[in-house]
Amino acid sequence: MHIVRRIVSASVIAVPALVLAALPSLADNQPLRQPDRVVLELAAEDWVDTKTARLTVAVDAADSSRNSGGVRGQVLAVLGGLAKDAEWHITRFDRGRDKAGLETSRVAAEARVGEGALGGIYEKARSASRPGLQVRITGIDFSPTLAENEAVRAKLRSKIYRQVSEELERLKATHPGRTFRLRSVDFVRMGPYPVPMRDAMESAAPKQMRARALAAGGNFGVSRRMHLVATVVLAAE
């Protein structure tokens, strides 16, 4: 009886040992777990083109008649002579009195004008000036308009959405039997590339030369490179 009890006891111990020895091989045969979501950073770029400039003008006028309507008429006539087809906007109108007792007006105006209207613009301003009326060109800004920027941003978003569709097709091919969908898109950065300080300093002179060339009748189309980055999350259904 003593011998039988030892054999039974040994057999009870041996069965768990066989099971434990088999566990590593079972784990090795299990397939790798497929991802539940994929996070991507996608980018696109394009050029914003503009053929117009923001033209700003200052007009100083003296009027002894104290008639603001007369000054306004003079200013509008001057602006029409500078760029007759432009849509002018009066952005500032200040009135005062000089030491001689004359009413003075300082007017600031701006318009978006085509390249052709900038030819000889400084000479036009000098020709329009006379005693009691001084006309100055205060700025020529070649930056694209808001509408031009937004149109290119819309194109960039379309490019990124196409990239998302391509990524979904890749996931379909590499993970058959699973369906991924677009969960979220976060556009984290928009706008033109930043210009380093050194580049900005070196490009200041060419910009001034370009403004003078346009004012003298030159023809320049101005472009800016725009960059858009998006963080995209694709989730499995």
**pLDDT for position 149:** 93
Parts of the chain with a pLDDT under 70 = 1-35, 64-69, 100, 189-221
Q: Based on the domain organization, do 113 and 164 belong to the same domain?
A: no
Residue where a domain terminates, one of 107, 141, 175: 141
Q: Based on the domain organization, do 136 and 158 belong to the same domain?
A: no
Cα dihedral 81, 86, 91, 95, rounded to 10, equals 20
Buried b or exposed e, range 213-237, using 16+ CB within 10 angstroms: ebbeeeeeebebebebbbebebeee
Residue where a domain terminates, one of 77, 110, 141: 141
Among candidates 190, 194, 116, which has minimal Cα distance to 153? 190
Q: Based on the domain organization, do 174 and 191 belong to the same domain?
A: yes
- CATH number for the domain that contains residue 123: 3.30.70.360
Overall pTM surpassing 0.95 (yes/no): no
**pLDDT for position 103:** 80
Q: Based on the domain organization, do 111 and 176 belong to the same domain?
A: no
**Domain presence at residue 11:** no
**pLDDT for position 107:** 94
How many structural domains comprise the chain? Answer: 2
Q: Based on the domain organization, do 46 and 56 belong to the same domain?
A: no
Q: What range defines the domain where residue 74 resides?
A: 52-141
Q: Based on the domain organization, do 80 and 159 belong to the same domain?
A: no
